């Protein structure tokens, strides 16, 4: 179950880079799962969720700008992989599966990056513009992240 959730939170990282670590940090800080005795204990510290939340909000705004590069360029793609690895590893660490969670998060981030780009392109084409597709993707990422983190046993 933990590895599936790590994979899914990785998919969220592929959609929105900072949403997954923000959600995972909030889950750890609120005590929904315990990572305090792991190398990723910092994810549950007092300020970590706030820092990631600010970064996630900035990303949600920046994503709407026409000058924002494709998620598939090396810098953006790499950030999504790192984000998926961190979020997946944190979920995995809650059950002593840190490395497994890290790998699942990376795989999920790749799936989310390419799948999200394809889905958003199709949605944007059907709407005739990108903004509605971007807002739908934002909602899927935020709601999905909350549901995934809430499901961590």
Read off the pLDDT of residues 64-91 as tens digits, 9 standing for 90 and up. Answer: 888 888 899 999 999 999 999 999 999 9
Nearest to 85 by CA among 149, 21, 153: 21
Chain segment 49-68, per-residue pLDDT in tens: 999 999 999 999 998 888 88
Chain segment 99-134, per-residue pLDDT in tens: 999 999 999 999 999 999 999 999 999 999 999 999
CA gap 143, 124 in Å, rounded = 20
Buried b / exposed e over 76-115, threshold 16 CB at 10 Å, is ebebbbbbbbbbbbbbbbbbebbebbbbbbbbbbbbbbee
Q: How much is the pTM? A: 0.93
Residues 13, 84 contacting (CB under 8 angstroms): yes
Report pLDDT for 63.
87
């Amino acid at each position: 179950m933990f590895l599936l959730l790590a994979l899914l939170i990785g998919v969220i990282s592929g959609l929105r880079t900072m949403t997954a670590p923000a959600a995972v940090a909030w889950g750890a800080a609120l005590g929904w799962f315990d990572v305090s005795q792991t190398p990723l204990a910092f994810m549950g510290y007092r300020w970590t969720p706030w820092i990631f939340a600010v970064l996630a909000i900035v990303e949600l705004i920046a994503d709407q700008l026409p000058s924002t590069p494709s998620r598939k360029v090396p810098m953006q793609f790499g950030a999504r992989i790192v984000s998926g690895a961190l979020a997946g590893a944190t979920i995995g660490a809650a059950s002593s599966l840190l490395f497994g969670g890290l790998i699942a998060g990376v795989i999920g981030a790749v799936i989310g990056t390419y799948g999200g780009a394809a889905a958003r392109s199709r949605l944007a084409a059907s709407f005739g513009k990108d903004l509605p597709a971007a807002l739908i993707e934002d909602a899927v990422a935020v709601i999905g992240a909350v549901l995934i983190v809430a499901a961590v046993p």
